[in-house]
């Protein structure tokens, strides 16, 4: 099973667009302890149903909590502990995908040449891999726009990409995509 290391921004968005469980079924989803505390502390679980879902998936072992170790990175930009730990964990695990929806964390991932993925791309990819229906994918993208505060520009491009996948056409931006190996 391919490994994916998530930070708080992506765990929240995956939960909000109802895709966290399926992603946990298909991949080894790993988070550092700091991320787990950021999104699913005892207080948050009481007040946010999606925080309770994350806590539940963690206690079932569907989301694995792993330490990034004590080594620190010399980052090109500052990050908060959870974001930094998640990136460090992705580097340490090797051949893992870093899931983040934070522009600054993406900047750091690019610096270390760590393959990253953003939630709208996960949605389109899950449809391409025939793991979710077109309807589910479209609804998830719409939620990412409305609740997830993704820019209309990205959501529009993701919807076009989704339609192209549905119609069996090649994405116009294929040359810019990086396959995860």
Least distance from C-beta 22 to other proteins, angstroms? 12
Least distance from C-beta 59 to other proteins, angstroms? 19
User: What contacts 8, CB < 8 A, 6 or more positions away?
Assistant: 35, 38, 39, 82, 83
118, with CB counted inside 10 A (0-12, 13-18, 19+), is buried
163 binds other proteins (CB under 8 A): no
CA 114 to chain CA centroid, Å, is 14
Q: What is the biggest distance separating any 2 CA atoms in the chain, rounded to whole angstroms?
A: 48
Stretch that binds other proteins, among 60-68, 101-109, 133-141, 162-170 (CB under 8 A): 101-109
169 binds other proteins (CB under 8 A): no
Least distance from C-beta 108 to other proteins, angstroms? 9
148 binds other proteins (CB under 8 A): yes
Please identify, using beta-carbon distances, which residue of 135 and 181 lies nearer to other proteins: 181
């Amino acid at each position: 099973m391919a490994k994916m290391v998530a930070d708080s921004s992506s765990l929240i968005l995956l939960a909000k667009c109802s895709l966290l469980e399926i992603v946990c079924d298909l991949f080894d989803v790993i988070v550092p302890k700091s991320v787990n505390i950021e999104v699913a502390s005892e207080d948050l679980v009481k007040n946010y149903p999606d925080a309770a879902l994350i806590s539940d998936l963690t206690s079932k072992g569907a989301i694995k909590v792993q330490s990034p170790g004590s080594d620190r990175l010399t980052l090109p930009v500052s990050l908060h502990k959870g974001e930094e730990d998640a990136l460090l964990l992705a580097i340490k695990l090797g051949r893992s995908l870093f899931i983040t929806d934070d522009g600054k964390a993406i900047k750091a991932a690019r610096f270390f040449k760590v393959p990253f993925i953003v939630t709208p791309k996960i949605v389109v990819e899950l449809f391409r891999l025939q793991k979710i229906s077109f309807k589910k994918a479209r609804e998830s993208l719409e939620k990412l726009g409305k609740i997830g505060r993704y820019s209309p520009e990205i959501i529009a491009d993701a919807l076009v990409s989704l339609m192209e996948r549905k119609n069996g056409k090649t994405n116009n931006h294929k040359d810019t995509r990086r396959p995860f190996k």
